[in-house]
Amino acid sequence: MHVRTTTRLLAAVVTALALGVSAAPFTPAVAAPTTRLAAPGDDEGGTPALRDQLDAASKGWLEAKAALERSTKRQQELDGQLKTIESQLVTQTAKVGEIAGAAYRTGRLGPMSALLNSNTPSGFLDRAAALETVATREDQELRTMIETRDQATRTRAAVSREITEQRKQVATMGKRKEQAERALAVAAADKPAPTSRDSGSSDGTSTSNAKGAPRNSDGSWPSESCSVNDPTPANGCITPRTLNALNQAKAAGFTRYVSCYRPSGSGEHPKGRACDFAAQKNGFGGVASGGDRTYGNNLAAYFIRNADRLGVLYVIWFKRIWLPSSGWKAYSGGNGDPSSDHTNHVHLSMI
């Protein structure tokens, strides 16, 4: 009897529990919205061929620009030297003219006549010494004038060479600009152009000046490798120039999430020459809007303002790319997602 009663009680409890569980409403667990802490995969957008073209075009343009600036500086220095040389030449030519005039007036026998008119042996020697001194001085004046004239000729030739060099670099800059814009046009041929709503990347403002990255003595950029630790969570390596840009942006108040190094893919990330700056505070989320978009606009403007100081190769933000040769251009390399469209982060590539 006891066993039977216990069995019935257990059955009743099991039944009640079963009914209770089945009757209770089921509420699935909902995860809180999250943002990614790393940009996915090869997200610079476009094909490797497009990125190679943009890389070569921008580097070539920047190198030609630096060469143009060096040549212009040399020409300015040469122009200053030539002005001084020509002023000296005028003075020296006048002195030689006076010497020639005196020789013409006294005739070629003037020195001999001066010696023969000496009354004493000591007077003869004194006049001979004086005439030798005069002859030496006149000879030196003539030699100095000739040397200065030759120096002026060489300097004018050097100025001419610099002008030729400048024309060459200007032509190279034009070709590199055309190369970049042609590559972008080819990439955009089968994609719709961004609307004005999608392309607010030039709306930002910045008044902060960055501390410039080190240059060579001639003003060119030194070659750098992926040689310093990446301080972002990407945990790889970056170049010293990239690290400087990262630190300068933080010092200017752009302190939201950043990821730089990427071990695979094409583009600049695996070389340590690129960083992705999230528009949202905690990582790479959806399409930036409101204050997040303003943050991205201002960050892009900061890098553009300081492009020459930092060594910026290009900036991508909100379906547009900024090139040093062309300014903002439509960038159709994305695949319709926030990462490849660059609508959730500002991409920075360094030379």
Size (the chain), residues:
351
Higher pLDDT, 98 or 183: 183
Both 306 and 200 in one domain: the answer is: yes
pLDDT of 279-289, one tens digit each?
999 899 999 99
Mean pLDDT confidence for 211-227: 95
Number of domains in the chain: 2
Paired residues of 274 in beta bridges: 349
Inside any domain, residue 63? no
Both 106 and 136 in one domain: the answer is: yes
Mean pLDDT confidence for 287-300: 96
Both 162 and 250 in one domain: the answer is: no
Q: How far apart are CA 234 and CA 218, in angstroms?
A: 34
Higher pLDDT, 264 or 105: 264
Inside any domain, residue 9? no
Residue 345 has pLDDT above 70, yes or no: yes
Residue 101 has pLDDT above 90, yes or no: no
What are the angstrom distances between the C-alpha of 225 and each of 206, 229, 243, 266, 276? 30, 12, 12, 16, 19
Both 200 and 345 in one domain: the answer is: yes
Using only the alpha carbons of the chain, give its radius of gyration. 39
Please report the pLDDT score of residue 99 as a whole number.
Answer: 76
Mean pLDDT confidence for 155-177: 95
Question: Out of 89-98, 100-109, 133-142, 149-158, which region has the weakest mean confidence (pLDDT)?
Answer: 100-109
Inside any domain, residue 54? no
Please report the pLDDT score of residue 43 as a whole number.
Answer: 55
Both 341 and 201 in one domain: the answer is: yes
Inside any domain, residue 21? no
Mean pLDDT confidence for 247-275: 94
Q: How far apart are CA 109 and CA 123, in angstroms?
A: 18
Inside any domain, residue 329? yes
Both 173 and 199 in one domain: the answer is: no
Question: Out of 122-126, 255-259, 287-291, which region has the weakest mean confidence (pLDDT)?
Answer: 122-126
pLDDT of 9-35, one tens digit each?
334 433 433 333 333 333 333 333 345
Mean pLDDT confidence for 57-70: 94
Do 59 and 185 contact (CB within 8 A), yes or no?
no
In sequence order, which residues have a C-beta less than 8 Å from that of residue 121 and are 6 or more positions away?
none
Determine whether 21 is exposed, middle or buried from the number of CB atoms within 10 Å of its CB (0-12, 13-18, 19+). exposed
Q: How confident is the model at residue 49 (pLDDT cuts 50, 70, 90)?
A: confident
Both 204 and 173 in one domain: the answer is: no
Both 198 and 141 in one domain: the answer is: no
Amino acid in the structure at residue 235: N
Both 233 and 142 in one domain: the answer is: no
Mean pLDDT in the chain?
81
Residue 6 has pLDDT above 60, yes or no: no
Mean pLDDT confidence for 174-186: 92
Please report the pLDDT score of residue 175 as a whole number.
Answer: 95
Please report the pLDDT score of residue 266 as a whole number.
Answer: 77
Q: Which residues of 84-123 are buried (b: 16+ CB within 10 A; e: fewer)?
A: ebeebbeebeeebeebeeeeeeeeeeebeebeeeeeeeee
Please report the pLDDT score of residue 56 as a whole number.
Answer: 93
**Closest among 96, 219, 89 to 155, alpha carbons compared:** 89
Q: How far apart are CA 24 and CA 14, in angstroms?
A: 15
For residue 119, give the DSSP letter.
S
Inside any domain, residue 24? no
Q: Which domain holds residue 142?
A: 69-177
pLDDT of 224-258, one tens digit each?
999 999 999 988 999 999 999 999 999 999 999 99
**Closest among 188, 349, 173 to 277, alpha carbons compared:** 349
Please report the pLDDT score of residue 261 as a whole number.
Answer: 96
Both 89 and 173 in one domain: the answer is: yes
